[in-house]
Structure 1
Amino acid sequence: MQGLSKTGRSDVPEVLVFEILHRLPVKSLTRFRCVCKPWSSSFQTPLFITKHHNHHLRHNNLNLLLKSSYVSTRYDTHYFSQLSTDKGHNFSVKQTVHLPFFENFLYSPKVDGPCNGILCLSDFNDKVALWNPSTREFKILPQSSIQCPPSAGYTDFDRSGFGYDSQTDDYKVVRFATIYFEGYDEHYNRYVELDQNEKFELYSLRSDSWKEISHPGGTTYDPLLFNNYLNGFHYWAACGYYDNENYILSFDMVTEKFSTLPLPLPRTSGSYRLDLLDFNGLLGALLPQGEGTEKSFDLWVMNGSWTKQFTIDSVPGVGRALGFWKNGELFLESSDHELVLFDPSTRELKNLGIHDYMETMEISAYVESLVPINGRSEYEECIIRRPPGGASN
């Protein structure tokens, strides 16, 4: 990293300065760009970006982003909050983040990722953006390339995935578009849905463009189930359109091909709820057991085949699972729509004092990164960050 040690202290070896800097948080590195031009340029090199991210990944330096809503109204109800933890493991809202690009819609943006510290946000109305909350860079993606016939009524972009192509050093977004065809029903004196068609498209950050891709065909996918990215693949819980068979659908970001995986257990009823997640670098499936306000959870892990990892027995007052934290603790949403943290080893259930409305809460745990997304600053996109009860920053 040429010039990195030119700080007025010639006795400090360049290698040592490099080792110190790549351990620092992104906020500190952003300030240190003003120290000298060699430092500023060095922080943008692939070598430094990779070493910095891998260090924080190795030390499990996770950050938390909470998506939720206050009330069930259409406008200005959805928000993101960055959560902070102190040494006593107390969670609090560090700041709230307002994203004008996704305002004035009934449903809050769907979150895909994280992937190398980057999140993909999307809605049903052809709005997609990439966001690096650490560098505060935000990129609005171009509109869809899918050509809809004149007879089409409307199009829903209701499912998506996001990930990294390691062979081409590219970030990609795969998206499912459902085109609905309508016709006028004289009996009911109104337009009704006659048919629908699914198309799939892929965005490349490197080319900054969309292209249509082939799809598995004959299937439909449940957008309500959690989905996840892991090791170059994005996963969805899926259901066959004709046979109503449940399985897991995956998309390879390198080959740009779909494939399927079986479920950990065969479906035993009309509904099959599972949450897909990253568990220590492997694909995990969290299956809730039981009904009402007392649930158990089985964790299955895919490592060549599905293996049952453990069972979390009878957690009282729980609505649904949101994801794992650093030491195996599990974030849960209570039946009262409060964010709680459950420790399986002690069976302690800790209320974190954060409330949402009607199961809108989602947790994204990500590791900071300096990865650029060729976008604009949050300030340029009018994104506002506010500490609780304070002014914007």
Structure 2
Amino acid sequence: MQGLIKTRIELPDMLVLEILSKLPVKSLIRFRCVCKPWSSSFETPHFITKHHQNNLKNNNLNLLLKRCHGDTRDDIHYFSQLSTEKDQNFRLKNNIHLPFFDNFVHAPLIQGPCNGILCLAERVVGHNFALWNPSTREFKILPKSTVQRPPGLLEFSSFYCLGFGYDSHTDDFKVLRFVTYYFEENLDEGLMADWTRQVELYSLKSDSWKEISFTGVYAFASTLFNNYVNGFIYWKGVGVDHHILSFDMVNEKFSTSPMPEFGGTLEQYYLELLNFNELLGVIFYPREGTDKSFDLWVMNGSWTKQFSVESVLRVERPLEFWKNGELFLENSDQELVLFDPSIQELRNLGIHAYQETMHITAYVESLVPLNGRSEHEECIIRQPAGGESN
């Protein structure tokens, strides 16, 4: 019998890249050393977009939890990755420490995700911002603003009003912040405080800030959910009447729209704006009590109520939606729980945090580069969470 003849099958390059675009980022980073064509292909806009679209299509979500284990809400916060495999019950995989925010009084605010990227910002004074790709482990500290400040400045604060999104026309990521300046005026009646406001926009492409014209009323960003939806950033506007303020990332213009008529008042209910399946959503829940009801409204041409969840016992606030409409919540014992409205089941995940310091982010992996530095260069520490008490 003649020896077997080995046949080498050459796959077309396009088919190989199609297969590779379905792999997790961790594998692609390892495969960069296979050959130079692969390494360079992984950096092309086409492959980056294809890889991200595949993750979106397959709903390949990852979970990142920010929390504080200290005795006060201002103790050092850190991030934890949660397992998303069905049999893992969202267990802690590893803890991530970001030294860049250690010296600030409050924990960083989180905006996004947008194409797998997160924007982190100093909570109060608003000088310090960073972009973070937790999949590629790239971290970029944003430069200080060079926008001209008003004379006689006392201090300034961004007051939680931030936004982060993507400009599809210029293929650029942008950060928007509202900056409030305080002054002292020595009047006959004595010292009094006065203030003015500027809006600043950061561009990743130019790596710089510029001023944006804005004459509207004050606004507040969601501190729990992602307020970026399909090229627009949304905030709760505050003025004579409550409304929604939006910013178009392409034409860099503001506009306003009405809130849904949900049958209550904002003195009775909290509201959070959110990205719900790539549509603008608003979730309302009572300010008082720990037996909460949740109403979700969605804008799809007009406001419609998506669903209502009645009387979930001993919970404080919503944190994030999961793949099949489940809702992560913080309960009255400051534990992370998952509520399934289809079967009215509340499942305790056994993860604790100091009161109202939990923030959970669901994101898909991305290869988007930030032109920053590696986590290792920024002294960011990742440690396995095995054996640690939740």
Q: Which region of structure 1 is more displaced relative to structure 2, 28-37 or 99-108?
A: 99-108
Partner of 2:369: helix, strand, or coil?
coil
Deviations 1:305-360 (A, max 9, x none): 10011111110011000120001100001011111000001111011111111211
Does residue 152 of structure 1 match 2:149?
no
CA displacement at 1:180 relative to structure 2: 0.9
Write the mapping of 1:151-230 to structure 2, written as runs, cut at 5 A: 151-158=152-159, 159-182=161-184, 194-217=193-216, 219-223=217-221, 226=224, 228-230=227-229
2:3 equivalent in structure 1: none
1:323 to 315, 320, 324: 320
Write the mapping of 1:2-13 to structure 2, written as runs, cut at 5 A: 10-13=9-12
The code of the aligned residue for 1:361 comes to: M
The code of the aligned residue for 2:69 comes to: Y
1:35 equivalent in structure 2: 34
Partner of 1:27: helix, strand, or coil?
helix
1:127 equivalent in structure 2: 128
2:363 equivalent in structure 1: 366
* In structure 1, distance between residues paired with 2:180 and 2:228: 22
Deviations 1:109-145 (A, max 9, x none): 1111100000011113310111110000111111022
Deviations 1:281-327 (A, max 9, x none): 21111111473110111110101110011111110011000120001
The code of the aligned residue for 2:329 comes to: L
The code of the aligned residue for 2:274 comes to: L
Partner of 2:270: helix, strand, or coil?
coil
Does residue 265 of structure 1 match 2:276?
no
* In structure 2, distance between residues paired with 1:281 and 1:65: 20
* In structure 1, distance between residues paired with 2:367 and 2:305: 36
C-alpha RMSD of matched pairs (Å): 2.3
Partner of 1:91: helix, strand, or coil?
coil
2:83 equivalent in structure 1: 84
2:334 equivalent in structure 1: 337
Partner of 1:48: helix, strand, or coil?
helix
CA displacement at 1:200 relative to structure 2: 0.4
Kept after mapping to 2: 8 A contact 1:289/1:298 = no
The code of the aligned residue for 2:362 comes to: A
The code of the aligned residue for 1:83 comes to: L
The code of the aligned residue for 1:206 comes to: K
Deviations 1:358-385 (A, max 9, x none): 2111111110010111111111111111
Q: 1:89 to 1:261 in 2, by over 3 A?
A: farther
Q: Which region of structure 1 is more displaced relative to structure 2, 219-228 or 272-281?
A: 219-228
Partner of 1:12: helix, strand, or coil?
coil
Q: 1:383 to 1:225 in 2, by over 3 A?
A: closer
Kept after mapping to 2: 8 A contact 1:75/1:104 = no
The code of the aligned residue for 1:51 comes to: K
Q: 1:122 to 1:41 in 2, by over 3 A?
A: same
The code of the aligned residue for 2:260 comes to: P
CA displacement at 1:231 relative to structure 2: 0.2
Kept after mapping to 2: 8 A contact 1:221/1:239 = yes
CA displacement at 1:247 relative to structure 2: 1.2
* In structure 2, distance between residues paired with 1:351 and 1:270: 30
Aligned length: 377
The code of the aligned residue for 2:180 comes to: T
Kept after mapping to 1: 8 A contact 2:163/2:221 = no
CA displacement at 1:107 relative to structure 2: 1.2
2:48 equivalent in structure 1: 49
Q: Unpaired segments of 5 or more residues in structure 1?
A: 1-7
Q: 1:193 to 1:111 in 2, by over 3 A?
A: farther
Does residue 252 of structure 1 match 2:251?
no
The code of the aligned residue for 2:279 comes to: L
The code of the aligned residue for 2:255 comes to: S
2:291 equivalent in structure 1: 294
TM-score by length of 1: 0.90
Kept after mapping to 1: 8 A contact 2:268/2:286 = no
1:275 equivalent in structure 2: 272
Q: Which region of structure 1 is more displaced relative to structure 2, 220-229 or 349-358?
A: 220-229
Kept after mapping to 2: 8 A contact 1:75/1:105 = no
CA displacement at 1:72 relative to structure 2: 4.1
Q: Unpaired segments of 5 or more residues in structure 2?
A: 1-6
Q: Percent identity?
A: 63
CA displacement at 1:279 relative to structure 2: 1.5
* In structure 1, distance between residues paired with 2:308 and 2:74: 40
Deviations 1:66-102 (A, max 9, x none): 1111124487521111111223251111111111111
Kept after mapping to 2: 8 A contact 1:225/1:274 = no
